[in-house]
Amino acid sequence: MSEEFAIETQDLTKRYDGVTVVDSLNLHIKESEVFGLLGPNGAGKTTTILMLLGLTEPASGTARVFGFNPTREPLKVKRLVGYLPEKVGFYDNLTARENLAFIAELNNINYAEANSRADEALEAVGLSKEADLTVGKFSRGMKQRLGIADVLIKKPKVVFLDEPTAGLDPKGINQLLDLVANLPKMGTTVVLSSHQLYQVQMVCHSIGILSKGKMVIEGSIDELGREALAGGRYIIQVETVQPTPQLINTIKGIKGVKKVEAKDNILQIGTDSDLRAAISKAVVQNDFPLIQMKVQEFSLDDIYMKYFREG
Amino acid sequence: MRAILRKELADYFTSIRFIILFVLILFASAAGLVAASQGIRGANLPEGFVFLGLFTTSGNVIPSLVTLIILLVPIIGIALGFDAINSERTSGTLSRILSQPVFRDSLINGKFLAGVVALSIMVGTMLLLVSGYGLSMIGVPPTAEEIIRLFIYLFLTIIFGAFWMGLAILFSVLLRRIAASLLISLALWLFFSIFILLVAPAIANALVPAADGSEAEIIRNIELRQMLMRFSPNTLFSEATTALLLPVTVGSLGLITQSQAAYMLPNPLSLGQSLLLIWPHITSLISLSAICFAISYLLFMKQEIRAT
């Protein structure tokens, strides 16, 4: 096992009642990065996280979290990781601060330290004013933020966030994503499970897409975009009037152009790099009007959809 | 585990549930006192056992304190345990707590211990209240033996309550819905305290019908009925209570025919003999609560935290 990965799994498999939920999963997550675990509902994201936490035992295969095996040494792993479950719950009869203090106590943090850490964590998630309200009065968004504070109070090296943005309003989502994006600066690795692709794309350095318990693809978003499109990194759309085969051939002759498809008045041009200048010049010089031109960059959505169309 | 124990106790003492139970206990103590004040004069208690009469004499309508305790303690036990685990599960706190660096069993151990502590406080309060007020009422101080008997009774009551709490915790581990675990615990309590009184004679009559009325058959019928009744922890507890606190009237817990009764001396049993008589009851109650807790412990340890 190499030491450079914060989290590493080898053929991690889990079955529930004969159904394979996670199927020989090989996961590699680097230290201090935000890793997005994507996939449709029921793909095995939560189960994977539970196995990495040592809350669920794998049927076969091994997992390593900072070199510790979560099944064999659950306490050592749990000392290092923070977990925000999908449906996070608190003791409604206790205040936000009391809830945090209890978690701190379970982590053997002494009273004075726990108090200052609770203040810090509440400050970080913007709940300082509500610190002494009972959690029963909290809204969904506030609870979610308290959940983040709850994770931060133990100063974990890895944070597992399971659908952290579910049920939040747009403002809440932005605040939360800001928080998440700042975690790696403090040396914390983040594993984020979600199916909100846009949000994942905003904060994640690399992603892994799960489908039916299998890892479909894993890597950084840039790499995946390039992999996802066979025709090249860029697709440039050019709108003109009645393009002739001759024009198409001219464009094909430009260095770097891989593929040209004509559809009515629109040309889809696949290129290695941004060749808009050369293409527009070619169109205009051949006496065709250049009505519109745009570069289609591949977003996570496209990558995701592509793999699920294939799968 | 200390953190969990502390938190659970703090939860109990601030919860409305605890306050209601406490009010119930105050009422029961008051009722027991009133019953004793009405009946103790006519109870004709032998010297040395007058103080225990405070707990065992019933009034005109009001039952004695021990009867109330047999009724009340299972309810307290169930109330303390029925949502121990499944409330954590439904509110989503379970996975959060278990992802902290604590051993998994410390959660259930802490909860059980906190319940036992709360139970002890309640039962202890009840006995102390009645002792205190009763002392000023009858003016007869307890003898050393009576105090020892009361302490054994207190211990036994806590064990009895712990059994019901263990049972309720077992259902809270087993069932996901809080209402279901509460209802099943209550149903079992109802069965063991009331229905068994109807079921045991019915089974006994079916198995050993005493149709021809011969003495041997009647004895067998009654003995079978008694044996069946002793399946109920409530019967065990109530028999043990009688032997402990009413040593005057009990010579044996089994059947005594009239001819035998004529030869019985109306002497109270000594403490040692009382204990000997109920030793099986005590051990059964202890093992029952241990079994209940052990099963819920094992189930809880094996239960997986799964993605819903």
Q: Which residues of B touch A90 (CB under 8 A)?
A: 91, 93, 96
- Cβ <8 Å between B305 and A88: no
pLDDT of B266 > 80? The answer is no
Q: Which residues of A touch B9 (CB under 8 A)?
A: none
- Same structural domain for residues A11 and A155? yes
Residue for token pair 């975690």: A183
pTM for the model stands at 0.84
Query: What are the tokens at B83?
Result: 């949502």
DSSP string covering A98-167, please?
HHHHHHHHHTT--HHHHHHHHHHHHHHTT-GGGTTSBGGG--HHHHHHHHHHHHHTT--SEEEEESTTTT
- Same structural domain for residues A46 and A75? yes
- A108-132 pLDDT, tens per residue? 888 899 999 999 999 888 889 999 9
- Cβ <8 Å between A93 and B305: no
Q: Which residues of B touch A16 (CB under 8 A)?
A: 306
pLDDT of B306 > 80? The answer is no
- Same structural domain for residues A169 and A190? yes
Domain count across chain A: 2
* Candidate from B3-12, B207-216, B269-278 with smallest mean pLDDT: B207-216
A241 pLDDT band, cuts 50/70/90, is: confident
Q: How far apart are CA B222 and CA B254, in angstroms?
A: 9
Domain assignment present for A304: no
Residues 6+ apart with CB under 8 A from B91: A89, A90, A91, A92
Shortest Cα distance, chain A CAs vs residue B304, angstroms: 6
- Same structural domain for residues A278 and A177? no
B205 pLDDT band, cuts 50/70/90, is: confident
Question: Would you call A93 an interface residue with chain B, using a CB distance cutoff of 8 Å?
Answer: yes
Domain assignment present for A17: yes
- Same structural domain for residues A200 and A215? yes
**Nearest-by-CA chain B residue for A88:** B92
**Nearest-by-CA chain B residue for A73:** B101
Question: Would you call A19 an interface residue with chain B, using a CB distance cutoff of 8 Å?
Answer: no
Domain assignment present for A310: no
Which among A177, A211, A226 is the end of a domain? Answer: A226
Shortest Cα distance, chain B CAs vs residue A134, angstroms: 13
Shortest Cα distance, chain B CAs vs residue A102, angstroms: 7
Q: Which of A48, A75, A106 to mutate to test the interface with B (most CBs of B within 10 A)?
A: A106
pLDDT of B10 > 70? The answer is yes
Output phi, psi for B49, to 5 deg.
-130, 20
Question: Would you call B14 an interface residue with chain A, using a CB distance cutoff of 8 Å?
Answer: yes
- Same structural domain for residues A150 and A128? yes
- Same structural domain for residues A55 and A174? yes
Domain assignment present for A285: yes
- Cβ <8 Å between B11 and A89: no
Q: What is the mean pLDDT of chain A?
A: 85
pLDDT of B100 > 60? The answer is yes
pLDDT of B199 > 70? The answer is yes
Residue-range definition of the domain harbouring residue A156:
5-226
Residues 6+ apart with CB under 8 A from A107: A79, A153, A154, B100, B101
The per-residue pLDDT for B225 is 87
Q: Which residues of B touch A50 (CB under 8 A)?
A: 95, 305-307
**Does B54 or A198 have the greater pLDDT score?**
B54
Angle B110-B114-B118 from CA coordinates, rounded to 5°: 175
Residues 6+ apart with CB under 8 A from A80: A65, A66, A68, A156, A157, A158
The CATH number given to whatever domain includes residue A258 is 3.30.70.100
Q: Which of A21, A56, A91 sits opposite B93 (nearest CB)?
A: A91
- Same structural domain for residues A245 and A215? no
- A89-101 pLDDT, tens per residue? 899 989 999 999 9
- B110-123 pLDDT, tens per residue? 999 999 999 999 99
Which among A192, A226, A260 is the end of a domain? Answer: A226
Q: Which of B96, B303, B305 to mutate to test the interface with A (most CBs of A within 10 A)?
A: B96
- A179-237 pLDDT, tens per residue? 888 888 888 999 999 878 878 888 888 888 888 888 888 888 767 766 665 445 677 88
- Cβ <8 Å between A56 and B304: yes
How confident is the model over B204-218, as a mean pLDDT?
81
Shortest Cα distance, chain A CAs vs residue B111, angstroms: 14
Q: Which residues of A touch B302 (CB under 8 A)?
A: none
The CATH number given to whatever domain includes residue A206 is 3.40.50.300
- Same structural domain for residues A190 and A87? yes
- Same structural domain for residues A103 and A37? yes
Helix H or strand E segment including A191: strand A189-194
- Same structural domain for residues A25 and A132? yes
Domain assignment present for A302: no
Helix H or strand E segment including A95: none
Q: Please name which of A40, A46, A35 lies closest in space to residue A88, comparing C-alpha atoms.
A: A46
Shortest Cα distance, chain A CAs vs residue B230, angstroms: 40
The per-residue pLDDT for B166 is 95
Domain assignment present for A61: yes
**Does B262 or A101 have the greater pLDDT score?**
A101
- Same structural domain for residues A163 and A237? no
Which among A164, A193, A226 is the end of a domain? Answer: A226
Question: Would you call B92 an interface residue with chain A, using a CB distance cutoff of 8 Å?
Answer: yes
Distance from chain centroid for Cα B13? 21
Angle A41-A208-A184 from CA coordinates, rounded to 5°: 110
